[in-house]
Amino acid sequence: MTHKPLVRIIAAGTVLAAALLSLGTAVLAVRAIEARTAGEVRAALVADDITWATVTPDGTQIHLSGTAPNEADRFRALSAAGRVMDGTLVLDEIEVTPSLPLDAPQFTVELLRNESGISVIGLIPREIGRAPVVAELEKIAKNLHVTEMLQTADHEVPPDWQAAVEFGMEALKRLERSKISITAESVAVTAVSDSAQEKAKVERELRRVAPEGLTVLLDISAPRPVIVPFTLRFRMDATGARFDACAAESRTAADRILAAARAAGMTARADCEVGLGAPAADWADAVVTGIAAVVELGGGTLTFSDADVSLVALPDTDARLFDTVAGALEANLPEVFALKAVLPPSESAQSQEDGAGPREFIATLSPEGLVQLRGRIPDTLSRTAAASYARDRFGREQVKDGLRLDPDLPTGWPLRVLAGLEALAQLRNGALVVTPRGLNLRGLSEVEDTQARVTRILTDRLGEDAALDIDIAYRAPPEPAETGPTPEQCVAQIEAIVAEQKIIFAPGSTRIEGAAVRVIDRIADVLRACPDARIEIGGHTDSQGREEMNLTLSQQRADAVLTALIARRVLTSNLTAKGYGETQPIADNDTEEGREANRRIAFRLLPPPDAAAPGQEDDAEDTTRADPDATAQGEPAAGDDNAADTPPEDGPSQGETPKASPTDESPEAPAPDTETETTDGQD
């Protein structure tokens, strides 16, 4: 019996040992399972190229920790572990790297304007909204359609965004065929203008009003003008080498011609007008050959007027050298060109021929438009013709005649005088001197291409071999004033100008010339200070001639005035031109005085767009913008106020309906608006 407790102790110890052994075996088994599961999870993560995750086994569970680059990588790690074991046993302890703040959206607007309307597309700040942008575009488009494809984003407005948009809108106003790309940092403008002058004017204006710090990219093209006659005049004498006029058919040809002139000694800045109308494809070859001939002579004048070429040597040039050079030039010129070579008499021979006292005609034009004629004229008829021509060009009250007769003047003197007066009329102020040896013109103009235009006029009138000395300086018109008079004050100033001098056209013509040039100059000075004044330039005729012809003529003349203002760098976005023909008489067309009063150019102040009554069209909507290329050449109009088919003055023929007089109570003869008028007294 004494052994039973011992047996029990041994049995209990055996059971305990077995239990401990089982527990140890179980622990080892669990650890083996944990290690195997963790290893499989790690292998799955490595297979998915996930190296940042840490796997920690915890019995039947797995702790997955680490810092994932983003939410997508975190999800990939959990998915990889879930493929190995039950996903509910995977404890997610993964952290995610904080994401960077979102980049601000790139706000941008694309504007497209053409004859059919305006389109806008882009992304703009929601704070600004689409409505203000569309409203501004509708003002610019007037009656044209606006296609809006804008989106908005709720983000802070960039600091310079509003200034960039306002500048883009300003560019859109001035360019009727354009594409404008706007960001907060830059505005890119791609457009087509009506002429090279308009292109240069718009570029200057846009650069002047561009906000500080804004990058402005301008790509404005212009059609090449037709140059008639196609003229080049190169001179070389003791004062140096220079161009009076230079035309070329391409930029490459112009560069070749300018390079030849610089090689000949030209140091002054010069350029060639590129345009259409060259008489031959090898124009540049002919000009370069001619310049080389002038250099070989030691000086002279080379003139091309279309295919006619003139080489005039300096006085006292050796006759044998002249014959050699002239012969070589004639042989080397391309076949289409015809050469006329002139060797003037020597200085001593010319002095003996001139005799005592200066034989010259002098005309001076002051900045105020006053003209003085003095010097010699061959006979009474020529004197009357010169004085009448000057009064027609410059105004009757502006001309003072101090001429005296000299019957021994050279042949062709009156023609030189009249051609010189026509050239002088193109200037703001200047002086003309005609001598037996040639014509000298000096002066100032506010239109850039005046020297070339004057050269074309004189060579066309006097021949390409005429001895011409032309020196016309260009002065840019003053910039528009930042602050100026009110629109009403502007119109009042124009009234005062046209009360002194009328805008006059030759019969059937649309060319601005003579006294009208100075009237336009003075009106331009006023309008530069009034860029916001909405003014209509109205053309009116009397009732003589066909109604359709009169309407066409009045529109062309109104366009000509607008084009002349454009050439003088006047802001024309608020100016319109409209022809009314004979529909708005202000006097009785049955008398000559009444018809003269009805033939006029009228300047009328238009109300602001917001002031128009609802549903009422703006007066300017039917107006036509001037085409500088269409009117600058001064082509005759389709009809004239005094056309040949004018009805008899003693009344209409049988079957005709008489036209209403201004006193008839008819809607065809409305009472005129308050307007500034200039009468065309030469129709």
Considering the entire predicted model, what is its pTM?
0.51
Q: Tell me the C-alpha distance between 343 and 112, whole Å.
A: 60
Residues 399, 452, single domain; the answer is yes
Percent helix / strand / coil, the chain, rounded to 5:
40, 25, 40
Q: Is residue 16 part of a domain?
A: no
Range name among 465-469, 557-561, 617-621, 662-666 with the lowest pLDDT average:
662-666
> Does the pLDDT value for residue 421 go beyond 60?
yes
Residues 6+ apart with CB under 8 A from 625: 176, 559, 562, 576, 577
Q: Tell me the C-alpha distance between 451 and 434, whole Å.
A: 18
Residues 283, 245, single domain; the answer is yes
Residue indicated by tokens 């036209």: 659
Residues 292, 394, single domain; the answer is no
Residues 6+ apart with CB under 8 A from 355: none
Q: Is residue 482 part of a domain?
A: no
- Residue 257 in contact with residue 246, Cβ under 8 Å? yes
Residues 325, 295, single domain; the answer is yes
Q: Is residue 13 part of a domain?
A: no
Q: Which secondary structure element, helix H or strand E, spans residue 35, and what is its range?
A: helix 4-47
When pLDDT is averaged across residues 431-448 and rounded to a whole number, the result is: 92
The three-state secondary structure class of 125 is: strand
Nearest-10 crossing angle of helices 547-567, 515-528: 60
- Domain termination site, one of 35, 66, 96: 96
Residues 334, 364, single domain; the answer is no
Q: What CATH number does residue 39 fall under?
A: 3.30.1340.30
- Domain termination site, one of 96, 124, 148: 96
Q: What is the pLDDT of residues 524-537, one digit of tens each?
A: 888 888 887 889 99
The three-state secondary structure class of 161 is: helix
Residues forming beta bridges with residue 407, ordered by sequence position? none
Residues 519, 604, single domain; the answer is yes
Q: Is residue 481 part of a domain?
A: no
Token reading at 677? 């008028």
Q: What CATH number does residue 635 fall under?
A: 3.30.1330.60
Q: What is the pLDDT of residues 302-332, one digit of tens each?
A: 999 999 999 999 988 999 899 999 999 999 9
680 pLDDT band, cuts 50/70/90, is very low
- Residue 565 in contact with residue 603, Cβ under 8 Å? no
Q: Which secondary structure element, helix H or strand E, spans residue 297, and what is its range?
A: helix 283-297
Q: What is the pLDDT of residues 70-106, one digit of tens each?
A: 888 888 888 888 888 888 888 888 888 876 666 678 8
Q: Is residue 10 part of a domain?
A: no
Tell me the residue range of the domain where 78 lies. Answer: 27-96
Q: Tell me the C-alpha distance between 434 and 410, whole Å.
A: 11
Q: Which of 609, 610, 560, 558 is nearest to 584 (CA)?
A: 558
Q: Tell me the C-alpha distance between 241 and 602, whole Å.
A: 46
- Domain termination site, one of 48, 76, 96: 96
Query: Which range scores top for mean pLDDT: 48-52, 195-199, 252-256, 477-481?
Result: 252-256
Residues 84, 112, single domain; the answer is no
Sheet holding 575-581, edge to edge: 575-581, 535-540, 600-605, 676-679
Q: Tell me the C-alpha distance between 182 and 166, whole Å.
A: 10
When pLDDT is averaged across residues 52-61 and rounded to a whole number, the result is: 84
- Residue 470 in contact with residue 420, Cβ under 8 Å? no
Helix H, strand E, coil C: the string for 341-353 is EECCCCHHHHHHH
The three-state secondary structure class of 556 is: helix
373 pLDDT band, cuts 50/70/90, is very high
Range name among 82-86, 205-209, 299-303 with the lowest pLDDT average:
82-86
Q: Tell me the C-alpha distance between 336 and 617, whole Å.
A: 56
Q: What CATH number does residue 118 fall under?
A: 3.40.1520.20
Residues 575, 598, single domain; the answer is yes
Range name among 452-466, 468-482, 642-656 with the lowest pLDDT average:
642-656
Residues 382, 333, single domain; the answer is no
Residues 425, 372, single domain; the answer is yes
End-to-end CA distance of the chain: 161
When pLDDT is averaged across residues 135-148 and rounded to a whole number, the result is: 89
Query: What's the number of domains the chain is made of?
Result: 5
Residues 278, 366, single domain; the answer is no
One-letter amino acid of 448: E
Residues 6+ apart with CB under 8 A from 228: 277, 456, 633
- For residue 81, the model assigns a pLDDT of 85
Stronger pLDDT, 57 or 182, i.e. the higher one: 182
Q: Is residue 3 part of a domain?
A: no
Residues 405, 340, single domain; the answer is no
